[in-house]
């Protein structure tokens, strides 16, 4: 598989990705988000579950608690490096692959159909949203749920203006994803939830330097340095206060 800028971003980020979430306040955000996902998917015994763009599996730990080794959850990701950070667990099968591979059948999935599919902050990477959403919808069994968790185009995070604009250009509107689900014949609900965050200036600037958002990988080292200087200039505060706000788009078959 050819490595794209995005793949390279996650190969590079994987080493620090989980560290992003271990310090307060994200140490509290992680269980909050795990619960948001688990309660919306409502996994029942023996259901077949898949996460596409699973990354390091940081946000599916509560879901995995409802999964049995007899019917392991499938975690798909194109980045071997991200997948390798998921600890070995009899309730998880790791599958190298991407949205296209899942939809065209080339990814080595252990099941033909799924009762629940989740994708958190990964679907914005696809080029053909309608086709991918239809492909995933077609993998749902009757009563199956497909949950997309995503940021909105206009970030609530403090970022420098060019990163804010570039992110917005690439990020699909949750309403658009919801329309794609409707077109795919799913019954759709959209909800927003948010978690308040307050973190030290040093902590936040470290995340920025580590390019925690994939859009930051599209900036060269000098551009990023200049951007962070601009951010520091515009944000003299000691603590950065904002919200981790996400759209939860749930499509049911
Ligand atoms: C921001 S991370 C999110 C990971 C995980 N879902 C989470 O919330 O922690 C985005 C993930 O999407 C994966 N990804 C990028 N392009 C993808 C594609 N075309 N198909 C599936 N996954 C993709 C990346 O490798 C990365 O692990």
Q: Where residue 4 falls among pLDDT bands split at 50, 70, 90?
A: low
pTM of the full structure = 0.93
Is 120's C-beta closer than 6 angstroms to any atom of ligand 1? yes
Q: Which two tokens stand for residue 84?
A: 């390798």
pLDDT tier at 1, thresholds 50, 70, 90: very low
What average pLDDT does the segment 63-72 reach? 97
Closest CA to 41 of 18, 67, 21: 67
Q: How many residues does the chain have?
A: 253
Counting from 1 in the atom list of ligand 1, the atom nearest the Cα of 17 is: 9
Contact present, 174 and 247 (Cβ < 8 Å): yes
CATH number of the domain enclosing 173: 3.40.50.150
Q: Which two tokens stand for residue 32?
A: 């909050």
User: Which atom of ligand 1 sits closest to the CA of residue 77?
Assistant: 22
Model confidence at 214, pLDDT cuts 50, 70, 90, reads: confident
β-bridge pairing 239-252 and 92-96: unpaired
Q: Read off the pLDDT of residues 178-211 as tens digits, 9 standing for 90 and up.
A: 999 999 999 999 999 999 999 999 989 999 998 9
Total count of domains within the chain: 1
Query: If you take atom 27 of ligand 1, which residue's CA is the nearest one?
Result: 55
Domain that includes residue 59, residue range: 5-252
Closest ligand 1 atom to 82 CA: 27
When the pLDDT of each residue in the chain is averaged and rounded to a whole number, the result is 93
Query: Distances from the Cα of 176 to the Cαs of 41, 54, 140, 148, 183, in angstroms?
Result: 21, 22, 20, 12, 10
């Amino acid at each position: 598989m050819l490595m794209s800028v995005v793949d390279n971003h996650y190969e590079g980020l994987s080493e620090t990705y989980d560290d992003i979430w271990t310090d307060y306040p994200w140490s509290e955000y992680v269980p909050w988000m795990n619960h948001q996902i688990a309660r919306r998917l409502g996994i029942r015994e023996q259901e077949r579950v898949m996460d596409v763009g699973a990354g390091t599996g940081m946000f599916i730990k509560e879901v995995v608690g409802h999964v049995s080794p007899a019917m392991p959850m499938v975690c798909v990701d194109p980045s071997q490096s991200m997948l390798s950070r998921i600890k070995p667990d009899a309730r998880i099968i790791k599958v190298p692959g991407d949205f296209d591979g899942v939809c065209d059948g080339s990814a080595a999935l252990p099941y033909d159909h799924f009762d629940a599919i989740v994708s958190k902050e990964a679907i914005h990477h696809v080029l053909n949203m309608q086709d991918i959403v239809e492909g995933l919808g077609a993998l749902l069994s009757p009563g199956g749920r497909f949950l997309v968790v995503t940021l909105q185009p206009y970030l609530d995070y403090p970022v420098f203006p060019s990163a804010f604009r570039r992110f917005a250009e690439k990020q699909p509107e949750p309403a658009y994803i919801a329309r794609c689900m409707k077109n795919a014949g799913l019954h759709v609900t959209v909800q927003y939830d948010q978690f308040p965050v307050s973190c030290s200036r040093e902590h936040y600037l470290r995340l920025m330097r580590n390019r925690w958002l994939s859009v930051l990988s599209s900036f060269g080292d000098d551009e990023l340095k200049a951007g962070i200087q601009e951010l520091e200039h515009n944000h003299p505060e000691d603590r950065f206060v904002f919200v981790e706000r996400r759209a939860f788009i749930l499509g049911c078959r």
